A and B are shown apart, each in its own frame.
Chain A
Amino acid sequence: MKTTNKRTSEVTAILWVSLLFTFCSFGTAEATEPIILGAAVSLTGNLARSGLDQKLGYELWKDSVNAKGGILGRKVDLRIYDDRSEPMTGAKLYEKLITSDKVDLLIGPYGSGVTAAVSTAVEKHKMVMIAPGASSKEIWERGYRYVFQMITPARYQLTSSIEIAKNSGFKTFAVINADSAFPRDLAKGALEDINSAGLKLFLHEEYPEKANDLSSLILKIKAAAPDALIVGSYLPDGVLLVRQAKAANLAPKMIQFGPVGPSIPDFVKSLGDLSNNLLGVSQWESSVKYPGSPEMVASFKKKFPGEEADYSVAAAYSSCEVMRMAVEKIRGIDQEKLRQAVLAMDVMTPFGRFKVGPAGDQVGHLTVLVQVLNGERVVVWPAEAAVQKIVLPFPEWK
C-alpha cells in the first residue's frame, strides 16, 4: 500500500541517516580524544622551585601546541602530580600515570635523584620518557633504553670554560666542589678537561654542602696560588665561599662557577657587588637566539607575569617539543617507534640542540658562559649568544 511503502522508506531513510550520523560521531570522537601527557614534578619539598618551573614549562607548551591545533589534530592535555621531591613517591606516581591513568606520553620529573627512581618504573613498562631535569650520568649508565636526557650532563658543563682559561693563558688550577653527586661530576669533568689540555692542577678538594665555614679551605687555596679557581657548588656554599674569599683576600685570575652561582638570580642578589666579574655556566638563558626561544620567552612573560623564565622552564618546554616532533614523525604514539625516532633525532629546540647518544644521554647540547658585569648577569660565550665580552682577569676585591 502506498502509505506503508512511504512509511517504510521514511523509516529506512531515518535509519540510514542515523547510521551515517553514528559513524561520523565515532570518527570525530576518536579525532577529538586528547593526547595525555603525564608527569610528576616536585611542587613541594626542597626541589620545589625547579619542579614548579618545569610545570610552568609544560603548561606553556600545552597552550602553545594547542593553539597550533595540537599534535596530529588532537588536543594535548596534561596530568601532573606532586612527587614531594621524594624519589620513592615519584616512582609510585609514574606507576600510577602508566597503569592507572594510562597516559599516552610521559615527560620527566626534576632532579637526578627522583629521575633515577622514576626511570626504573618507566623502563619496566617500556614507555619513552624525556628527562628535562636530570644531569647525573649514572642514570644513563644502567643500560636503560627508554629514558632520554634533555640537558647537558655535568661532565661537559665546564668544558668551554677550561678552553677559555687556556686561551687566556691561565695554566694552573684549583678545583673545589660540594661532596654530592652533581658537583662531583662537574668537578670530575673539569679535572679531565684540565688534564687533557695539558694544564696543571694545584688543588682538588671536596667540602660538605651545608658547611658553615670554608675559611680553612680558602687558606689552602690561597697558599697554592693557582691562576684559576673552578667551583662546583650549590647556592648557600657558593655565597659563603665568595664572602669568605673576599674576607681572606683570595683573588685568583679567574673564578668560574658551575650552573649554580652567577647564573642564579638569588646568588647575585645575596652577594650584591661581591658577585661582579664572577663567571658561571648556564644550560640556557632568556637572551639566547635558538629557534623558537625568543617567542617562548615572550609568551611565558605574558602567561606568567612576575615569574622568571629560567632554564628548567625552557628544558621542560623543549622536552615536550622533542616529543611532539617524534610523534609527528612516526604519526602515532607507539612507544617502540617513538624510541627509535628520538634516538635518531638531531634537532634545534628553543632550549638548544638535542641529540642523544646510544645510551640516551645528551651529547649535542652545550652550556653558555655567563658573567656578572655591573650587577647584571650576561651571556659572554658562545659568540652567537653573547651579549657582552668576557672580562678577564678577575680584578682585586674592593
Chain B
Amino acid sequence: MRGSLLVLQVMINGLLLAGIYGVAAVGLNLIFGVLRVANIAHGDFIMLGAFIVYSLSTLGVSPLIGIPIVGGVLFVLGLLTERFLVEKVVYQPMAYSLLLLYAVSILLRNAGLNLWTSNYVSLNVMPGTLHIGSLTISEIRLVVFIIAVSLTVFFTFILNKTMVGKTIRASIQHPDLAGACGIDVRKVRALTFGVGSLLAGITGTFFIMLFSVNPEMGDMMILKLFAIVIVGGLGNYLGTFVGALVVAMAETFTGFYATTEYSDVAVFFLFLLSLILRPQGLLGGGKTT
C-alpha cells in the first residue's frame, strides 16, 4: 500500500477505535458529566454487561436478544446503586461518591472473579471485513462507530433541546428549586444513573465482541474513559466524542509512527496534559467550582 493510503488506513483504524471508546464514554458522561457522580465503577458495569451477554450466549441465547436483556439488568442495577448507595452521599463532596463507587468497583470485580474466574473470554460476532480498494474496515467496528455517533447526537439533542433534558439538568444544578417545581429530584437522579449504567452494559456487549474480557478489565478502561470525558469537557456530548477521537487517533498514530508500546504512555500523557492545561476540557462545560 502506498504511503498516503497507509496513513488513511491508520486514520480509519483510529476512527473505528474511537467508536467503541465513544460508546463507552457516553454512559460515563451522563453519570459523571451530568449527574456529577464520579463513577469509578463504570468500567466494572461495562464488564458486567459483557459477562451477562456471554453467560447468556453459553446458554444458547443469541447476542441480539442478549443486548436488550443486558440493558434491562444494568438499568435496574444502576437504579438500585444510586437509590441505595450513592444517594446517601450525593450532597456530600464528590470525593465521597468516588470512594463509595470505588468500593462498588472492588465488589463487582471480585464477585466477577468468583463467578467467572480470571480467564479471558470473547464472542465471535460479525467477523467480516469491508474492502474498499486496498483499504479494510472491520464490519463490527463500523457498526459500533455508527452507534457511537447516533448516541452522541441523541444525547446532545435530548439534554439540550428537550424538556426531559432540562428536567435532568435542573435537578442537578438546583435540586431545591427543581423540587419546588414539583420534580422528584431523587427519582431523576436514580433514573439518570440507571440510563448511564444501561449504556455501560450495552458497551460491554460490544466489548466482548471486539476484545477479550475478564473480570478485571474495568481497571484498565476506566482511566481511559475518564480521560476521554474530561478531555472533551464534562457534560458535553460532542466534546466526549471529540475526546474519544483524540485518544483513539493518538493510539493508532503513535502505534504506527513509533510503536504500540508508546500508545499507552501517549494517552496518559495527553490526559495529564489536558488536566493541567485545560481542566474544563477541549469544548468546555466542565465547571471546576
Contacts and interface: CB of A to CB of B under 8 A. Distances in A.
A and B touch in the complex (CB under 8 A): yes
Nearest to A271: B124
A382 to B, nearest CB: 29
Contact of A216 (B117, B131, B260, B264): B260
B44 interface: no
Given A239-B120, A272-B124, A212 B6 contact: no
A49 B119 contact: yes
A244 B138 contact: yes
Interface stretch (B31-39, B151-159, B250-258): B250-258
A interface, size bucket:
35 or more
B59 interface: no
B121 interface: yes
Interface stretch (B61-69, B210-218, B233-241): B210-218
Q: Quick one: which of B9, B113, B127, B214 has the most chain A CB within 10 A?
A: B127
Interface in A210-235: 210-217, 219-220, 222-223, 235
Tell me whether chain A's interface is mostly helix, strand or loop, or mixed. helix
B120 A236 contact: yes
Contacts of B122: 236, 239, 270-271
A235 B211 contact: no
B260 A236 contact: no
A54 to B, nearest CB: 15
A248 B124 contact: no
Contact of A49 (B17, B117, B254, B261): B117
B252 A213 contact: yes
Interface string B129-155: 101000011100100000000000000
A396 to B, nearest CB: 12
B212 A270 contact: yes
A46 interface: yes
A266 B256 CA distance: 29
Nearest to B262: A208
B259 interface: yes
B263 A208 contact: yes
- The residue in A208, A217, A243, A272 that gathers the most chain B C-beta atoms within 10 A of its C-beta is A243
A212 B17 contact: yes
A46 B216 contact: yes
A15 interface: no
A247 B255 contact: no
Contacts of B113: 44, 48
A214 B260 contact: yes
A229 B289 CA distance: 54
B1 interface: yes
A128 to B, nearest CB: 31
A238 to B, nearest CB: 9
Contacts of B261: 179, 206-208
A274 interface: yes
A80 interface: no
Interface string A13-27: 000000000000000
B142 to A, nearest CB: 10
A394 B119 CA distance: 28
B10 interface: yes
A45 interface: yes
Interface in B179-221: 210-214, 216, 220
Give the most central of A205, A212, A243: most B CB within 10 Å: A212
B212 A217 contact: no
A145 B220 CA distance: 39
Interface in B106-121: 113, 117-121
A48 B263 contact: no
Nearest to B6: A219
A208 B129 contact: no
Contact of A212 (B1, B10, B251): B251
Contacts of A179: 261
A208 B260 contact: yes
A235 B120 contact: yes
Given A215-B252, A274-B127, A207 B260 contact: yes
A240 interface: yes
B13 interface: yes
A32 interface: no
A242 to B, nearest CB: 10
Interface string A244-263: 10111100000000000000
Given A246-B129, A249-B136, A236 B212 contact: yes
A278 to B, nearest CB: 14
Given A212-B211, A266-B120, A205 B1 contact: no
Contacts of A208: 260-261, 263-264
A240 B216 contact: no
A220 B118 contact: no
Contacts of B248: 213
Contact of B131 (A46, A213, A214, A249): A249
Contacts of B6: 219, 223
Interface string A168-192: 0000000000010000000000000
A272 B128 CA distance: 13
Nearest to A274: B127
Q: Which of A223, A249, A270 has the most CB of B within 10 A?
A: A270
Interface string B37-54: 000000000000000000
Contacts of B127: 243, 246, 272-274
9 contacts: A46-B118, A47-B118, A206-B260, A213-B13, A216-B252, A236-B211, A247-B137, A270-B124, A274-B124
Q: Which 4 A-B pairs have the closest CB atoms?
A: A216-B255, A270-B122, A236-B212, A216-B256
Interface of A: 44-49, 179, 205-208, 210-217, 219-220, 222-223, 235-236, 239-240, 243-244, 246-249, 266, 269-274
